[in-house]
Chain A
Amino acid sequence: MIYLFCALYPEAAPLIKEYRMKRVDFGNGIRMWQKDNELTLVLTGTGQLNAAAVTAAVLSRRKAGSHDFLISYGCCASLNTEKTDGIFLVHKITDLQTGRDYYPDLLYETGFAEASLISENKVYTGAENIGSGELYDMESAAVFHAGSMFFPLHSMFFIRFISDAGQTENLTAETITSLSAEYLPLMKKLIDDLARHEEEKDIILTEEDDRMISKFAEDMGCSTAMKRELHRYIHYAVLTGKDWKKKIEELYESGTLPVTEKEEGKKVLHAFREYAAE
């Protein structure tokens, strides 16, 4: 699943339309759209508190994890005379209130230009002396902080397009939607690439294997620690291509299992270790 977080509807509108996403009733006043089991778009509202609370609530209830992705997408102000427009992958987020820097892990080629970003909980007017960042927004640090409780750092992407330089009087919802639509092809490529992406699975033993191991452990009279050891031996047997299921069948056929005394179980476990390690 790809979780897309935007602060405002005008930022999200082109994506909702492009992917024909359907409104979902998530509750708690959180506005959410979804396309199948691939893409979920959430509006956080503006500011750090809203962003952190909504991000954490959605990811927690949805049980988001290491095989999912997070994209934080939206508009920002430019703090830099050299970067006055465009869309950027953020490589450094500085939370101005705490002074803490956040660094997404930039392992994938995305095709976006990159920039650093300052994040603070108030609207930038253009008059403040902010420091050395290139972009400015009000949500990134909070989304990163909440997101990093669920995702590895390389699974989070912070994408910002410049909408202003702090003078927001003339910045309308239509302008933001229009800019977001302009960058839609780039966003679509990232989203589609991530949707197709498959990382190497960490799973060595299936749920069915686990059930078999539990039965095996029970018939061996294993303690919790012994069962953990048994699991490890079987994990290694799988990696080295051994037919561990056949070995277990043999133990049943020979009458070695189930054991009647715990000491017998220890001997069987030891013998199984020898088999796995040979």
Chain B
Amino acid sequence: MHSGNMRLNKPFSHVYIEEGIMQHPLCTRILSFFPHAVQIPVTSYKDVFSRKGQRSSVQIKSRNLILAEKKDHFLYSGSVVCHDFDERWFYYCTNVLNCIYDCAYCWLKGMYDSANLVIFVNQEDFLAETAGMLKKHPVYLCLSYENDLVPLENITGFLHSWAEFTVRNPGLTIEIRTKCGNEDIWKALPVSERIIPAFTLSPDPVILEMEKGTASLSQRIRAIRAAAENGFHPRLCLDPVFAVPDWENIYGSMIRNVMCEIDPADIRDISLGTFRLSNDYMKKMRKEYPHSASVQYPYVLHDGYYGYEENKKRKIENTIRKQLEQYVPGEKIYMLENE
């Protein structure tokens, strides 16, 4: 890998480790996957992750790993720009900050100054906080809100931990959102109606242009099928949808392709939404990624969020909704404004 004449370090050439968790079993386990990495002790992960002067657009080509302990705020309430699927007790948690993939439009690029990956190893504290909340009310928990846990499962084991915890706790429902094509994980996790695999679907032209490192559409379809064949009812997420040239045919073709491969009866529900991003994140991303057409597009600002102009947005969402309704009943399709 070259950037000009200076060769970049391989990804995860360095691992920053909070001094307090050096002896944590998960820290030891994760480090065993990076035997050649330089280990650098740190007092707090924020000293590295939140440094001023990072260039995430450069860093993402040679990102490093930070192992840390989450001290508080184990569960957060969901954002207003996210689908809540009519769930009242809608939360998300962050076992990992940042995503292994490099999606051009990802809001994490607007949220964080760093492209480095933070893994919080104290999973036991996440479970304890969730157990405490479950004593008060049911919990609907999105696990992959600021990350994608599926491609990290080999090294973290978080999904197995959460899935087993969910099976033991009837008030808990978890959603595992991913762009990963791993089929085996859906054969290995315990099956429950309260464990929801959620696959982001994009047509291949969008994947190639904007979702670097993620699985191709056909790989994602195989993973969805593997999940369905093993008893899960997957959620499909056509979100975000982009107004790429010929979007109507490109998305229509993708939907036909998916519905040919997956029995629509196996699909739990579908979320649908066009691209949207908060004003603050957009400003930051436009500055850091001047070459990215997906963030430089002349979106319109509405109520603090950038997105397509209303007519275009409605046209896209209504057209795709109609295409989906050829296969699944309308009540299974969630659009942000309907919720």
Please report A residues at the B interface, Cβ cutoff 8 Å. Answer: 66, 91-92, 101, 103, 105-109, 114, 116, 132, 148, 151-154, 193-194, 196-200, 202, 204, 229, 232-233, 235-236, 239-240, 273, 276-277
Assess the B51–A153 pair: CB atoms within 8 A: yes
Question: CB of B222 within 8 A of chain A?
Answer: no
B59 cross-chain contacts in A, Cβ below 8 A: 105, 107, 154
Residue ID in chain A nearest B53 by CB atoms = A153
Instruction: Report the Cα distance A255→B16, complex, angstroms.
Output: 62
On whether the beta carbons of A108 and B298 are closer than 8 Å, the reply is no
Do residues A197 and B8 form an inter-chain contact, with CB atoms below 8 A? no
On whether the beta carbons of A148 and B53 are closer than 8 Å, the reply is yes
Q: Write 11 A-B pairs (CB below 8 A) sorted by A numbering.
A: A103-B47, A105-B59, A108-B9, A109-B7, A116-B40, A148-B52, A148-B53, A199-B4, A200-B3, A232-B286, A239-B293
Contact assessment for B40 and A194 in the assembled complex, using a CB-CB cutoff below 8 Å: no
Q: Is B58 part of the contact surface with A, judged by Cβ < 8 Å?
A: yes
CA of A66 to CA of B288, assembled, Å: 12
Q: CB-nearest residue of chain B relative to A276?
A: B298
In chain B, positions 10-32 with a C-beta closer than 8 Å to chain A are: 13-14, 16
A interface secondary structure, majority:
mixed
Q: Does B42 contact A (CB under 8 A)?
A: yes
Query: Which residue from chain A places its CB closest to the CB of B44 in the assembled complex?
Result: A101
Max chain A C-beta neighbours (<10 A), residue from B3, B41, B293, B296: B296
Establish whether residues B293 and A196, one from each chain, have CB atoms under 8 Å apart when the complex forms.
no
* CA gap between A193 and B290 in the complex, in Å: 26
Encode contact with A along B149-167: 1 for CB under 8 Å, 0 otherwise.
0000000000000000000
Contact A197 B14 (CB under 8 A): no
Q: Give the complex CA separation of A244 and B109 in angstroms.
A: 29
Inside 8 A of A199's CB, which chain B residues have their CB? 3-4, 58
B290–A108 CB distance below 8 A: no
B33 at the interface (CB under 8 A from A): no
Docked CA distance A66–B5 (Å): 17
CB pair A91 B9 closer than 8 Å: no
B38 touches A196 (CB 8 A): no
Q: A91-B40, A152-B54, A236-B293 are in contact. Are A107 and B9 (CB under 8 A)?
A: yes
> Is the pair A277, B38 in contact by a Cβ cutoff of 8 Å?
no
- Residues of A with C-beta under 8 A to B58: 107, 152, 154, 199
Closest to B48 in A: A103
In the bound complex, what is the Cα–Cα distance between A239 and B53 (angstroms)? 26
- The CA of A108 and the CA of B4, in the complex, are separated in Å by 11
Q: How far is the CA of A240 from the CA of B14 in the complex (A)?
A: 37
Task: Determine which residue in A91, A153, A240 has the highest number of CB atoms from chain B within 10 A of its CB, and name it.
Answer: A153
- Chain A residue numbers with a CB within 8 Å of B62 are 107-108
**B34-62 vs A, Cβ < 8 Å mask (1 yes, 0 no):** 00001011110001100111110011011
Closest to A196 in B: B5
Q: Are B40 and A92 in contact (CB under 8 A)?
A: yes
Interface residues of B in 252-298 (CB under 8 A from A): 286, 290-293, 296-298
Q: How far is the CA of A276 from the CA of B297 in the complex (A)?
A: 8
Report chain A residues within 8 Å CB of B8: 107-109
Q: Quick check: B55 and A152 within 8 Å, CB to CB? A: yes
One of A91, A152, A197, A239 near B5 (C-beta < 8 A): A197
A152–B56 alpha-carbon span in the complex (Å): 10
Given A101-B47, A108-B8; A200-B13 close (CB under 8 Å): no
Closest-by-CB residue of B relative to A150 is B53
Query: What's the least CB distance linking B53 to chain A, in Å?
Result: 4
**B296 touching A235, Cβ below 8 Å:** yes
* Closest Cβ neighbor of A109 among chain B residues: B7
In the complex, what's the smallest C-beta–C-beta distance from B46 to chain A, in angstroms?
11
Chain B residues whose CB sits within 8 angstroms of the CB of A148 once the complex forms: 52-53
Asked whether, in the complex, the Cβ of B3 is within 8 Å of the Cβ of A197, the reply is yes
| B16 contacts across to A, CB distance below 8 A | 103
Q: How far is the CB of B11 from chain A (nearest CB, A)?
A: 10
Task: Please give the distance in Å from A144's CB to the nearest CB on chain B.
Answer: 10
In the complex, the answer to whether A108 meets B7 with C-beta atoms within 8 Å is yes
Nearest residue, chain A, Cβ from B10: A109
Shortest CB distance A55–B (Å): 15
Chain A residues near B13 (CB-CB < 8 A):
106
Q: How far is the CA of A91 from the CA of B64 in the complex (A)?
A: 13
Quick check: is B6 within 8 A (CB to CB) of the other chain?
A: yes
Closest Cβ of chain B to A213, distance in Å, is 15
Which residue from A103, A198, A233, A276 sits with its C-beta under 8 Å from B51?
A: A103
Alpha-carbon separation in the docked complex, A79 to B258 (Å): 62
The docked-state distance in angstroms from the alpha carbon of A108 to that of B52 is 19
Not counting A106-B9, A197-B3, a sample of 10 additional A-B residue pairs whose C-beta atoms are within 8 angstroms of each other reads A92-B41, A101-B47, A105-B53, A108-B8, A109-B8, A152-B53, A204-B291, A229-B298, A236-B297, A277-B297
* CB <8 Å contact, B14 and A154: no
Residues of B within 8 A of A200 (CB): 3, 291
The answer to whether B54 and A114 touch across the interface, beta carbons within 8 angstroms, is no
Residues of A within 8 A of B298 (CB): 229, 232-233, 236, 273, 276-277
CB of B6 within 8 A of CB of A197, answer yes
A196 to B296, CA, bound (A): 30
Q: Lowest 3 A-B CB distances belong to which pairs?
A: A196-B5, A197-B4, A198-B4
B38 to A114, Cβ gap below 8 A?
yes
Residue of A with least CB distance to B293: A239
CB-CB under 8 A from A151, the residues of chain B are 53
Q: Give CA–CA (A233, B298) in the complex, Å.
A: 6
Q: How far is the CB of B49 from chain A (nearest CB, A)?
A: 10
Min CB distance, B292 to chain A, in Å?
8
**Smallest distance from the beta carbon of A115 to chain B beta carbons, Å?**
10
Chain B: CB-nearest residue to A94 = B43
Nearest Cβ on chain A to B289's Cβ, whole angstroms: 9
